[in-house]
Structure 1
Amino acid sequence: MMKEAIYHRPKNNFAYAYDKRTIHIRLRTKKHDVEKVKLIHGDPYDWDKEGWQFQYTDMFLQASDELFDYWLIKINPPYRRLRYGFALYNGDEKLVYAERGFSDEPPLDDIQYYFCFPFLNEVDVFNSPEWVKDTVWYQIFPERFANGDHSLDPAGTLEWDSAQPQQENFFGGDFQGIIDHLDYLVDLGINGIYFTPIFKAHSNHKYDTIDYMEIDPQFGDKETFKKLVNMCHEKGIRIMLDAVFNHSGYYFPPFQDVLKNGDKSLYKDWFHIREFPVKTEPEPNFESFAFTPHMPKLNTENPEVKAYLLKVAAYWIEEFDIDGWRLDVANEVDHQFWREFRQEVKAIKPDAYILGEIWHDSMPWLQGDQFDAVMNYPFTLAALDYLAKDTKNANEFANQVSAVLCSYPENVNETTFNLLGSHDTERVLTLCNNDKQKVKLLFLLQLSFTGTPCIYYGDEIAMTGGEDPECRKCMKWDENQQDLHLKSFVKKLIRLRKTEPAFGSKGEFSIVESSSETNHLVYTKSFNNEVIYFVINPSSKPISVTINGKKATNLWTGKQVSADDNLLHLDAEANDFLILKV
């Protein structure tokens, strides 16, 4: 066995409290290098005259990626504490691995040899809001969803959907338009709305905030917003707002004061200014988002800035009862700010959802003291490469998502935010070269994957669009311009997610089979005694698969499938799928 590939650390995604009684332990080994792994474990204070008392318990192979296998065990130690190591087997070879390295047999006389889980303190359990696991989100870009009150239209507002979206044009989307179409969302099965920024700003996208305490007048006033939130809650829909705390807008009054008064400004330390006077051309001499002179970076370490932004975080929950915050450019803000942000938010609304926009490995933010979840872009990119762009085969996709799932604790994965597209990306149908069958397979994968899914407005009716700003077209409300068949398809998937416990986030995800040759993927979602098999075949040829079981129900067609010697032989048509409850 390759010792260099064997890895464990007694924290984060390798050893964590899943709930107040259960500890999860994970071990990494070289792929296909180990046949069996047992956890060697016991209470650190359980000794007799022969030495430390321990037992062996089998671990199971949870997942594999391109290089490694990941083994997992879920254990309930009677006194909520553990000393532990691992026994690895390959044929006649046995290897014991613990904190001090490798040996042939587990020592009985040296407790310091083993890994330590000192005590499962309930306060240390990662807890994210339970309701999120059953939520299907819908992302709304307010300026482009619906215009319900023309009296609010900014100067120069264009007739709805009369032109292509551009960086500077306006079509008058507002809160009243959203209120007018809430029944559309209820009918689709949506029970969570994620709004891009709604606060007063100069642009149409509103990521350049002028006033964090005021709604942009083109959307309506606070009374209308309160009405919108209340109506959504009555219909079982939660509301999540977008917080841009990494940077403000150019017209944010404190930044305008710095432009005017330079180093005499009371707000000069609210930003990261390298020299005075402040300049925006040819490039800014202050820190900004992506070198953009119109988005100066806020100094969240400054006590006044911190106090102001935490007041913002509290205000919209206390006054309007919003249910969550999505945090823009979250990885560029200091960790201490997010720790205090969480304390502020959770003190007011313990089950508020805190979601960070991070595109890379996010474990430092997901240890229970900052975010409840992050936007799962690694899943997004892997799914699009596999089913939209055809640049990755099924085996490569399986490796990528397995690596992502094993990068975090299971209770983190259960509320991660899964998206196929957003206001920042090309629309999914455009990425699929207008192949709607590919879009269907992507929706199936997204809505059955571990985590909470989000649909970008209009994707369910086959809207198209390239990169920003083309992905921000006006929502099409004329049913003659909507793909009602695709909408019905998405609606049916959402209904299955809600009615079949294993289908949604309560179900444990596992790859069963993936092929680089036929390009098909088979995975299961299991919950209690229920197992659902998903077969995705994006190839141009039919495939046959065999799974274990006595009988099964095709959840999509309702047809029964009989077994032959406890084996179910199934055919998946080209560019199609199967959903089978065994």
Structure 2
Amino acid sequence: MGVPKVSFNSWSEAFRRPFGAVKTGSSIYFSIKVANIDVIEVDLMIQRDGEQAQVRQMAPSSEKEDMYYVKLTTESPTRLYFYHFRIIYQEDLHERIIYYGKSEDNYGGEGRLVSDLSQIEQYQITCFNKLDPAPDWYVNGVIYHIFIDRFSNGERNHRVLNPKKNTFIYATEEDLPYYIRDKNGDIVRWDFYGGNLSGIINKLHDLKLLGVTILYLSPIFEASSNHKYDTANYRRIDPMFGDRKTFDKLINKARRYGIHIILDGVFNHVGADSIYFNRFGTYGNTGAYKDQSSPYRDWFTFHGDQDHYDCWWNISDLPTVNKEKESYRKFIYDAEDSVVDTWSASGIGGWRLDVADELSDDFIAGIRKSINRHEEKDDHKVLIGEVWEDASNKIAYGKRRHYLEGGMLHGVMNYPFRTLIIELINGKINARQAVRAGLTLKSNYPSDTLFANMNNIGTHDTERILTVLDNDEKKLQLAIWLLMVLPGVPCVYYGDEAGLTGGKDPDNRRFYPWGRENRKIVTIFHEAIQARRTDENLQTGDFYPFSIGALFGCLRLRSTENYTVFLMNPTMDSVDLDINQFIDETCGNLIRGCLQSVLPATKQLNAQAFQILKSNE
């Protein structure tokens, strides 16, 4: 006897099956190999979220030496489970205990032994209530995210519709965005370029040619700002964008092009300058700020006087709404003429919920029920949430979120994949670390969620992808292709395909450079989008990331006869690759077999280059 040798891998069905998230009531089989010590007992320490850990003693295998196993059946209601292993053994006549949990990087897969329980990182099991796939038109599509004021002006001579008071309009569409702030840092003059719904209608043909099938629009409702996340009236389209007639025309013409529209739902807060709050008197003497008898008064929480109230991130311009108030819920989703019902009935494809973590699970479930009321037989709607972290285990305001367990969100904005893409290409992580990050997300998310997540490499809240990649177009090409081949629905931020650059807000919200596009980058986006649109493996094929030395790859597989392999070299050096030399060390049998069928035994992959290979070629 000597140093304990323990083997476990949460991603290998030799140790834990089935892989990944499971439906409540399912059985999970655990195995662990413990060798080189005098074992007294091996235990699975399983903790249902919010409860104390339970001890499940593991039985020695009668068939495999040094293997121990146990079966767990998950229970209702749906919750996460967390687990690690405890190993009790005898050494020099003394009873000793060691523990096995996740590795120090907090990813799944192979873990590590520790002797101090306080150092343990537990593995996760995600349980969901029911299968909840997003509609096919969404899962198989490509999204284009439009910041409306900055995309296209459809008026003759680019006349700006209905300019707002005490704002400024840029002299040309090539001007760089700039905020005018007061001494406290608050914006005192909003800036506008004049993009509108007519402009989007005029560009639908171009978007169709690019390969876009879904438009995700920044908020369309009346508001003081250019971004419209400070809603003034949920029932009125902002006059600078157009009117209901123009909106209906957009919906109808987009449908003729095979394009669905997703609206941005901002239901956590409203604008201080709104019909509901009315701090500045724009709407007369009505509203919660002006009138204590206002029907909207109890939507808001005041502290002592009118000027102290709950607001989002302490931004006084964005008073937070009390989402627990029945009148507000009826107004937003729980009545026939509610906001969600009204606009869902207009023919949109669904909603993206702003700051979903600020909305309770039952509030989101209520929105989903409202949306479902307007589904047609062959045209279901989608609901996506803004979450920046791994949404499977998110805790917000001290509460675990359950919005991916069925009947709430179909998916979330996949910022973790954005981080993976950028850090891999910029050399912040290596290929093996990228694989571990990808597999952890795959194992934590229900498979329906993984395919429905809105993947991005840039949004209105981030720096432009070309700027993040130091204006390196070879790096950008890798990022674009990763966006298209990773599981989830790719979302292109307007202007990225034209080569727009820009730092943090507001610089990332420049006007689209019509007539001045970088045609090389446009072509790269078009080719990558077409690959995604025409390859079912890239849309819904199972996802197996892998690394071979410095190379990162992923296998997208619908069957062992139908698969696509993506292989990329994120480094600055060309790599001479001997498949037979590296394959056994880095890849499982499935990946090894697929690679050997589509790659020669030896080849070279150039620096900052990629290759995409298919089983049928």
User: Which deviates more, 229-238 or 490-499?
Assistant: 490-499
How far apart are the structure 2 equivalents of 1:197 and 1:326? Answer: 10
Distance 1:106 1:347, change over 3 A: farther
Contact 1:36–1:88 under 8 Å retained in 2: no
Aligned counterpart, 1:59 = 13
Pair 1:259 & 2:282 matched: no
How far apart are the structure 2 equivalents of 1:218 and 1:301? Answer: 32
Return the match for 2:302 from 260, 269, 273: 273
How far apart are the structure 1 equivalents of 2:25 and 2:405? Answer: 19
The Cα of 1:278 is off from its aligned counterpart by 1.4
Alignment of 1:200-349 (within 5 A): 200-256=222-278, 257-262=287-292, 264-275=293-304, 277-279=305-307, 285-310=308-333, 311-318=338-345, 320-349=346-375
Pair 1:506 & 2:540 matched: yes
Aligned counterpart, 2:566 = 534
The Cα of 1:571 is off from its aligned counterpart by 1.2
Root-mean-square deviation (Å):
3.3
Return the match for 2:523 from 478, 485, 488: 488
The Cα of 1:461 is off from its aligned counterpart by 1.5
Contact 1:88–1:96 under 8 Å retained in 2: no
How far apart are the structure 1 equivalents of 2:328 and 2:150? Answer: 31
Aligned counterpart, 1:136 = 142
How far apart are the structure 2 equivalents of 1:475 and 1:260? Answer: 40
Contact 1:342–1:369 under 8 Å retained in 2: yes
How far apart are the structure 2 equivalents of 1:510 and 1:474? Answer: 38
How far apart are the structure 1 equivalents of 2:261 and 2:295? Answer: 35
How far apart are the structure 1 equivalents of 2:321 and 2:263? Answer: 19
Contact 1:160–1:474 under 8 Å retained in 2: no
Secondary structure at the aligned position of 1:85 is classed as strand
Contact 1:96–1:106 under 8 Å retained in 2: no
Contact 1:86–1:96 under 8 Å retained in 2: no
Pair 1:163 & 2:117 matched: no
Contact 1:84–1:98 under 8 Å retained in 2: no
Aligned counterpart, 2:477 = 440
Distance 1:383 1:198, change over 3 A: same
Contact 2:462–2:508 under 8 Å retained in 1: yes
The CA deviation string for residues 237-275 of structure 1, in whole angstroms up to 9 with x for no partner, is: 11000011010011122212222134x444221012222
User: Which deviates more, 165-174 or 122-131?
Assistant: 122-131
Aligned counterpart, 2:151 = 145
Contact 1:355–1:372 under 8 Å retained in 2: yes
The CA deviation string for residues 279-322 of structure 1, in whole angstroms up to 9 with x for no partner, is: 1xxxxx2111111101000111101111111110110111x210
How far apart are the structure 2 equivalents of 1:220 and 1:491? Answer: 30
Pair 1:575 & 2:605 matched: no
Contact 2:17–2:29 under 8 Å retained in 1: no
User: Which deviates more, 220-229 or 164-173?
Assistant: 164-173
> Structure 1: which amino acid aligns with 2:521?
L
How far apart are the structure 2 equivalents of 1:92 and 1:501? Answer: 47
> Structure 2: which amino acid aligns with 1:272?
T
Contact 1:542–1:573 under 8 Å retained in 2: yes
User: Which deviates more, 93-102 or 377-386?
Assistant: 93-102
The Cα of 1:452 is off from its aligned counterpart by 0.4
Distance 1:380 1:35, change over 3 A: closer
Contact 1:201–1:249 under 8 Å retained in 2: yes
Secondary structure at the aligned position of 2:437 is classed as helix
The Cα of 1:120 is off from its aligned counterpart by 13
Contact 1:98–1:115 under 8 Å retained in 2: no
User: Which deviates more, 341-350 or 369-378?
Assistant: 341-350
The Cα of 1:378 is off from its aligned counterpart by 1.1
Distance 1:195 1:76, change over 3 A: closer
Aligned counterpart, 1:103 = 58
User: Which deviates more, 400-409 or 114-123?
Assistant: 114-123
Return the match for 2:386 from 344, 352, 357: 357
Return the match for 2:498 from 438, 449, 461: 461
The CA deviation string for residues 359-400 of structure 1, in whole angstroms up to 9 with x for no partner, is: 12323211112111110111112211221x432222222222
The Cα of 1:538 is off from its aligned counterpart by 1.9
Contact 1:331–1:358 under 8 Å retained in 2: yes
The Cα of 1:334 is off from its aligned counterpart by 1.7
Aligned counterpart, 2:49 = none
> Structure 2: which amino acid aligns with 1:572?
L
Contact 1:353–1:372 under 8 Å retained in 2: yes
Alignment of 1:557-568 (within 5 A): 568=601
Contact 2:262–2:350 under 8 Å retained in 1: yes
The CA deviation string for residues 49-104 of structure 1, in whole angstroms up to 9 with x for no partner, is: xxxxxxxxx9268xxxxxxxx75459999xx9765533334679997859751233
Q: TM-score, normalised by structure 2?
A: 0.73
Q: TM-score, normalised by structure 1?
A: 0.78
How far apart are the structure 2 equivalents of 1:172 and 1:82? Answer: 54
Secondary structure at the aligned position of 2:288 is classed as helix
The CA deviation string for residues 311-347 of structure 1, in whole angstroms up to 9 with x for no partner, is: 10110111x2101101111101122211111111112
Contact 1:36–1:90 under 8 Å retained in 2: no
Return the match for 1:192 from 211, 214, 217: 214
> Structure 2: which amino acid aligns with 1:269?
D
Distance 1:329 1:237, change over 3 A: same
Contact 1:278–1:286 under 8 Å retained in 2: yes
The Cα of 1:123 is off from its aligned counterpart by 8.1
Aligned counterpart, 2:409 = 371
Aligned counterpart, 1:34 = 8
How far apart are the structure 2 equivalents of 1:73 and 1:204? Answer: 45
Return the match for 1:380 from 409, 412, 418: 418
Distance 1:231 1:127, change over 3 A: same
Aligned counterpart, 1:390 = 427
Aligned counterpart, 2:29 = 85
> Structure 1: which amino acid aligns with 2:57?
F
Distance 1:376 1:72, change over 3 A: same
Distance 1:476 1:563, change over 3 A: same
How far apart are the structure 2 equivalents of 1:92 and 1:525? Answer: 39
Structure 1: gaps of 5 or more residues: 5-29, 38-57, 62-69, 108-112, 280-284, 549-560
Secondary structure at the aligned position of 1:418 is classed as strand
Secondary structure at the aligned position of 2:536 is classed as coil
The Cα of 1:441 is off from its aligned counterpart by 0.3
How far apart are the structure 1 equivalents of 2:178 and 2:309? Answer: 27
